Structure 1
Amino acid sequence: MPRAVRVRPREPDCAGLTFVFTAFPGLLLHAGLLHDFPYPLCGCDACDTTWQREADELEEHVFAVVSGNYRESVERRDGEAAVWYQVRYPNGSSGGFSNAITVPAERLAAAKPVLRRLSSGWRAWPRRTRTE
């Protein structure tokens, strides 16, 4: 049975992160409202990815989200809803989009007004003060 840990700052304009530990074995990172990112992306022997590489990529992704370099949107493209995300990593690369069909309609409807309000993307997480 998968286990999950959700981490979210108090400010509602900052994207939350949920780490889902799967039986794959692996980890699913849920960022913001709509996107899931698997680590490793593929678990077959032919891909031969190392745990160090996966850990580095996960760390970069988390850092991008908490530093405010992550945005999501729901748009109409060719008459269909498309769910987009953009992650800017420290190395300058970014990505991508996913198909709205994989997102439940009620989750998509709840996300739309929040993401419209965040048109320039999720804000960076505030730094903790020493008294917290």
Structure 2
Amino acid sequence: MTKAKGLLAMTLVVMAFLISCTARKDKTLEARNAEKPSSVERETQAVPAESPSDGVKRVTVEELQAALARGEALVLDVRNEAQYRAGHIAGAKWIPYTEVGERAPRLLPRDKLIVTYCS
């Protein structure tokens, strides 16, 4: 029973990340049409301009790099296969968002910060 509760909790956390990605998609498209930062600025942006109220923790690039260096994080790319093959963060694990609910409980570690990205 405890294992089932753990799997359910992990699935809920991953789904919260995915909901956040989906909810932000429209805002992201609007933002792209606004002023576009340089590639250096995009890669080093510290935090989103707004503070989302969805309960999903956001991390800065620096926080992610530090957690990865300590072996405390895993990057999960949830984009489709074509987007993943076109380019992805080095070392990222790929699970398309349509398969996360099914695959995440058996493939993702429970002892690490899971950082998802979708665009």
TM-score norm. by structure 2 comes to 0.26
Please say which structure displays the higher CA radius of gyration. 1
State the structure with bigger RCO (CA 8 A, min sep 6), 1 or 2.
2
Q: Which has the higher strand share?
A: 1
TM-score norm. by structure 1 comes to 0.24
